Amino acid sequence: MAEPYYITTAIAYPNGRPHIGHAYEAVAADTIARFQRMQGRDVRFTTGTDEHGLKMVKTARDQGVEVQALCDEMSGYFKDMCAKLNISHDRFIRTTEPAHHEASVAIWEAMKANDDLYLDRYEGWYSVRDEAFYEEKELTVGEGGVKLSPQGTPVEWTVEESWFFRLSNYAQPLLDLYAANPDFIRPESRRNEVLKFVEGGLRDLSVSRTSFDWGVKVPGSPDHVMYVWVDALTAYMSALGYPVKTGDWGKYWPANLHLIGKDIVRFHTVYWPAFLMSAKLPLPKQVFGHGFLLARGGEKMSKSLGNVVDPLELADRFGVDALRYFFLREVSFGQDGSYSAEAIVGRGNTELGNAFGNLAQRVLSFIAKNLDGALPEIHGHSYADTALFDAVGRAVSQDIPTAFEDLALQQGIDQWLQACFACNQYVDEQAPWALRKTDPERMQTVLATLYIAIAELAVAILPVIPGKAAELLDTMGVPQENRTYARIGAQWYSPLAESDFRLAAPAPLFPRLELPSQNEA
C-alpha cells in the first residue's frame, strides 16, 4: 500500500482577489504534491479559504454587501486561480462549511476538557489586517505616531470579554518539540525566530471575540465567536473529516507539510501545535515558511502601494507553465525574491524555450522528417551515448528527487537544466544531420539516445510544468505508467520502437515570449 502524504497550503484569507503571493504558494505546493505522487505516494493536497473574522465583516460593510455573499464571490476567485494554474488539489475547504463548524467546536471542546480555556477580560493591541494580537514590545511606531505590528499593519487597542487559551503552559512542551524535531520548522531562519519568541516566555492567548459575530460560535457562550486562527487552523483537519477520526483523517493526519508564508509562521508553529497538544491530537510533521515575491525595487506588494500583480493576467500573457517555472526557478525556496516581466520572459525564452523546447523540437522534427516518424533503432552504444544516459539518468533518478524531497525546488530545477545543457552539447558534438549520409546506423543510435533522454527530462520536470511536459510526453508516446522518477529508457523505448507508433512533427512547446509594451505595462 502506498505511503500517505498530506500537504496543505495556508487557508487563504479572501478579503480581496488572489495576488501573486497566493499563486506562488499554490504552485509550490502543487509541485511538491505532484512530485510525491510520482514517487508512488498516496497524496492528499488541501487548499481553501478562511472566511471568518473582523476583516471580512469590514470589507463587506465597505462594499455594501452581505458577508456570506462576499465570501462566496471571493472564494470563487481562489478556485478560479487554482483551475487556471493547474493546481491538483484534492480538497478545497471553506471555513463557512457546516462540517468545518463541527470540527472547530470539537477541538474547542477538547481544549476545554483539558482545562486550557478560561473566561476573562482582554485588553491589548490587535491588528484587524493580521487578525492577530501583539504585545507592546513587538510594536513599532509609523507615520503620524500610528502603532504598527511586526508585519507593518496598524493595531488598535481592544477591550472586551474573552475566552483565553493557557498558552503559557505550553512554552516548555513547544521547546521540547523543536529540540526533538529540528526539521519541524523550516527553513532554519524561521526556526530561530520562533525559538527566540518562545524562549522569551508565552502569555495566555485571547481566543474569542464579542465585538462581531461572523465566525464559529463558542459552545456554551453564544455571544462569543472563536478567534479566527482557532477556526482557520482547524481547517487542515476538517478537510479530512475531523472530528471523525477514521476515514481520511485517520489515514492522512498528521500532515506531512504545512506550506505557508513567513508572515504566519508563529500561528502554525506556536499556537497550532499548542492547540493540538491540548486537544491530545497528533502534531504536523513540518511547517515550511516560504519567502515573499517582492515588487520591482524590493517592495512588498500591497493594494495601498498600487503594485499588486494579478497572477491570472500573468498566466494569460506568458502561459501557465512559463509562470509556474519562473516562480520556482527564480527564487531559492524559503527566501524572498522579486518579480518582473523581464525575468519571466528571460527564463521562459532561454531555459524553457531554447535549452529544452528547442532541443525537443529539433530532435523530434528530425525523426519525423527523416525516418517518417518511426522511432530510430539502437545499434550499440558509444562512450558518449553512455555518458549522456548516465548524466540524465543521475539527474532524473537521484539529483532532482533528492532536491525536491528536501524542498530545494530551485536547486532541483537547476539539476534538470544542467541535464538539458548536456543533451544540447551531445547534439552539437554528434551532429546527426551529418551522420544521415555518412553513417545512418550511428545516426539512429544518436537519435534514439536523445529521444530517451528528452523523455526522461520531460518526466523530471512534470511537477513544475505539468501541462507542457505532459503534452510532449503524449506526443512522444510515453505511457502514463512510466512517467515516474525511475529511469524509464529500458522500460518503454524498445517496445514502443517495435510498435506501429509514428511520431508526428511536434508543434513548438514554448513560443517565444515578448515583453509588454510600455502602454500595456
Distance CA 319, CA 471 (A): 14
Considering the domain architecture, whether residues 241 and 359 belong to the same structural domain is answered as: no
The answer to whether residue 328 is domain-embedded is no
Considering the domain architecture, whether residues 232 and 364 belong to the same structural domain is answered as: no
The answer to whether residue 520 is domain-embedded is no
Considering the domain architecture, whether residues 184 and 116 belong to the same structural domain is answered as: yes
How would you write the pLDDT of the chain (521 residues) with one tens digit per residue?
689 999 999 999 998 899 999 999 999 999 999 999 999 999 999 999 999 988 899 999 999 999 999 999 999 999 999 999 999 999 999 999 999 999 999 999 999 999 999 999 988 888 877 777 788 888 998 888 889 998 888 998 888 899 999 999 999 999 999 999 999 999 999 999 999 999 999 999 999 999 889 999 999 999 999 988 899 999 999 999 999 999 999 999 999 999 999 999 999 999 999 999 999 999 999 999 999 988 766 666 665 566 678 899 999 999 999 999 999 999 999 999 988 899 999 999 999 999 999 999 999 999 999 999 999 999 988 999 999 999 999 999 999 999 999 999 999 999 999 999 999 999 999 999 999 999 999 999 999 999 999 999 999 999 999 999 999 999 999 999 889 887 676 678 999 999 999 999 889 999 999 987 654 54
Considering the domain architecture, whether residues 34 and 110 belong to the same structural domain is answered as: yes
Which residue's C-alpha cell is 487548499?
47
User: C-alpha dihedral over 454, 460, 463, 468, to 10 degrees?
Assistant: 0
List the alpha helices (DSSP H) in 395-476.
400-405, 409-430, 432-438, 440-460, 466-476
Considering the domain architecture, whether residues 133 and 59 belong to the same structural domain is answered as: yes
- 218 in helix, strand or coil? strand
Contacts of 510 (CB under 8 A, 6+ apart): 319, 321, 322, 348, 349, 352, 353, 356, 357, 468
Cβ 292 vs Cβ 261: under 8 Å: yes
Considering the domain architecture, whether residues 216 and 128 belong to the same structural domain is answered as: yes
Task: Say what the pLDDT of residue 521 is.
Answer: 46
The answer to whether residue 415 is domain-embedded is yes
The answer to whether residue 272 is domain-embedded is yes
CA angle 486, 489, 495 (to 5 degrees): 125
Whole-model pTM over 0.85: yes
The answer to whether residue 434 is domain-embedded is yes
Residue 204 burial (C-beta neighbours within 10 Å; 0-12, 13-18, 19+): middle
Report phi then psi at 338, rounded to 5. -125, 155
Domain that holds residue 422: 341-497
The answer to whether residue 443 is domain-embedded is yes
CATH number for position 162: 3.40.50.620
Considering the domain architecture, whether residues 65 and 143 belong to the same structural domain is answered as: yes
- First and final CA of the chain: distance in angstroms? 51
Considering the domain architecture, whether residues 91 and 208 belong to the same structural domain is answered as: yes
Please tell me the total count of domains within the chain.
Answer: 2
Cβ 155 vs Cβ 149: under 8 Å: yes
Considering the domain architecture, whether residues 280 and 142 belong to the same structural domain is answered as: yes
Residue 394 burial (C-beta neighbours within 10 Å; 0-12, 13-18, 19+): middle
The answer to whether residue 321 is domain-embedded is no
The answer to whether residue 448 is domain-embedded is yes
Considering the domain architecture, whether residues 105 and 219 belong to the same structural domain is answered as: yes
Distance CA 492, CA 476 (A): 11
Select from 450, 448, 454 the least CA-distant residue to 426. Answer: 450
Task: Say what the pLDDT of residue 137 is.
Answer: 85
Considering the domain architecture, whether residues 370 and 245 belong to the same structural domain is answered as: no
Report phi then psi at 143, rounded to 5. -60, 140
CATH number for position 455: 1.10.730.10
